[in-house]
Structure 1
Amino acid sequence: MSRMIFVNLPVTDLAAAMAFYRAIGFENNPQFTDDTAACMVWSESIHVMLLSHEKWRTFTSRPIPPADSSEVMLALNFDSRDAVDVINRQAGANGGQADINPVQDLGFMYGRSFTDPDGHIWETFWMDPQGMPAS
């Protein structure tokens, strides 16, 4: 079996969270989805588990951070600057908040950040390693 990552995120409204992630390009895996959790697939190796607060609490007793905090920033790479712009617009138009951090444009690397409806931070970026400065 190849290595995979399952990112677990607590969400306040499972249906709204699923709709958001579908809108930005994730697909639902119904095999791991019920009324308390949903598996949203980005690629063969990257899955996001959306967990109701009740389901989350079956895994840990640690408090769920408030939506305006930063517990982690998840990053996804894209094939072009345009693709980074598209997903950022989709996030803002579907219940998330676009450009929560300043746009990063270093020439060889371009990035933008958004949150999902529950405040989880996603950084999207394009990078051309050949264009990196030598130092």
Structure 2
Amino acid sequence: MTRLTFVNLPIQSAAKTKAFYEALGFEFNPQFSSEDTLCMIVSETAYVMFLETDRFKGFVDKELADTRTTVAALLSFSCASKEEVVSTCEKAFELGARRYKEPDDHGFMLAWGFEDPDGHIVEPFWMNPEHLEA
């Protein structure tokens, strides 16, 4: 059985979040999206569910973290090349994302990151496939 992964994150505005991530090249599954919920496709088995705060609160019985002042998770996704990592982060910065760190280049791996409009930390990375096989 292939398992699907759904990461769920609270957001302020579905429209604003969709515009931001579409501009970065992501697509959304309309079957699982609505006015207050978005299903962003990361891969055939991985998705990010963005839910406006009131909708998200309906799934939990705890207070939500204020992602503008605290970090609850890091959302990392692989890229096909170092250039894709750089272009994704630079595009995010142009769209108003906060630069919270500099690129971290280990030779076999490059990671960078940005804070999206809702304060979530997103870290695109590239890892040399040959390094994984070693």
TM-score, normalization by structure 2: 0.89
Return the offset for 1:58: 0.6
Q: Deviations over 1:22-57 (max 9, x none)?
A: 111211111111122111112111111110111011
Secondary structure of 2:64's aligned partner: coil
TM superposition outliers: structure 1 runs of 4+ over 3 Å:
129-132
State the superposition RMSD in angstroms.
1.8
Q: Does 1:2 pair with 2:2?
A: yes
Return the offset for 1:129: 5.1
Q: Does 1:49 pair with 2:53?
A: no
Query: Structure 1 vs Structure 2: percent identity of aligned residues?
Result: 37
Aligned ranges 1:1-135 → 2 under 5 Å? 2-66=2-66, 67-98=68-99, 100-128=100-128, 130=130
Equivalent pairs counted in the alignment come to: 132
Return the offset for 1:130: 3.6
Structure 2 gap ranges (5+): none
CA contact (8 A) 2:103 2:113 kept: yes
Secondary structure of 2:93's aligned partner: helix
In structure 2, do the counterparts of structure 1 residues 81 and 57 end up closer, same or farther at CA, with 3 Å as the change threshold? same
Whole-angstrom distance in 1 between the partners of 2:34 and 2:109: 39
In structure 2, do the counterparts of structure 1 residues 131 and 48 end up closer, same or farther at CA, with 3 Å as the change threshold? closer
Structure 1 gap ranges (5+): none
Whole-angstrom distance in 2 between the partners of 1:129 and 1:82: 15
Whole-angstrom distance in 2 between the partners of 1:123 and 1:52: 22
Secondary structure of 1:15's aligned partner: helix
Return the offset for 1:95: 3.1
Whole-angstrom distance in 2 between the partners of 1:87 and 1:56: 27
